[in-house]
């Protein structure tokens, strides 16, 4: 019912930039979109929230990316972006797009397939 397709990952040098995109396709109306965001998971570590944006436009960032990453949305294209600047090796991870829907008063999570981001010289 909800498909999320990420793009834009790859290899960057420390200090470099990448921009991730996530396009959302909904086959039928299933509920209310609460928020969309980006999570990441590095090898041997738990998946963590990187940034999210609510349907009202409020944003949240994990402390480690504040001032370097920016999440934005293009509602006309059902797409969110993550602009990542001043990348560090510790940003290396698989990045997952997430959408949270409220369906019958319950929160449901949908995930993309993930895109690899590698920061290395």
Summarised one tens digit per residue, pLDDT across range 91-103 is 999 999 999 999 8
pLDDT at residue 4, rounded to an integer = 96
Model pLDDT for residues 18-71, shown as the tens digit of each residue: 999 999 998 777 788 999 999 999 999 999 999 999 999 999 999 999 999 999
- Residues 8-21 have a mean pLDDT of 97
φ and ψ at residue 90, rounded to 5 degrees: -75, -5
At residue 94, the pLDDT reads 98
Q: Which residues of 108-119 are buried (b: 16+ CB within 10 A; e: fewer)?
A: eebebebbebeb
Provide the pLDDT for residue 109: 95
Mean pLDDT over 99-108 rounds to 92
Measured distance between the N- and C-terminal CA atoms of the chain, rounded to whole angstroms? 40
| CA distance linking residue 75 with residue 56, whole number of Å | 11
Side-chain half-sphere CA neighbours of 54 within 13 A: 6
* Burial tier of 107 (Cβ tally within 10 Å: 0-12, 13-18, 19+): exposed
């Amino acid at each position: 019912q909800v498909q999320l397709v990420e793009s834009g990952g790859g290899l960057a040098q420390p200090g470099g930039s990448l921009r991730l995109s996530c396009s959302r396709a909904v086959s039928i109306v299933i509920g209310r979109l609460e928020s969309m965001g980006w999570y990441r998971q590095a090898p041997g570590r738990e998946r963590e929230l990187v940034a999210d944006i609510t349907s009202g436009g409020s944003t949240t960032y994990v402390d480690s990316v504040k001032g370097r990453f920016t999440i934005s949305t293009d509602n006309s294209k059902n797409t969110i972006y993550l602009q990542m600047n001043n990348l560090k090796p510790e940003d290396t991870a698989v990045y997952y797009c997430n959408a949270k829907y409220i369906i019958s008063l319950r929160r449901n999570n949908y995930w993309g397939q993930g895109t690899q981001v590698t920061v290395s010289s």
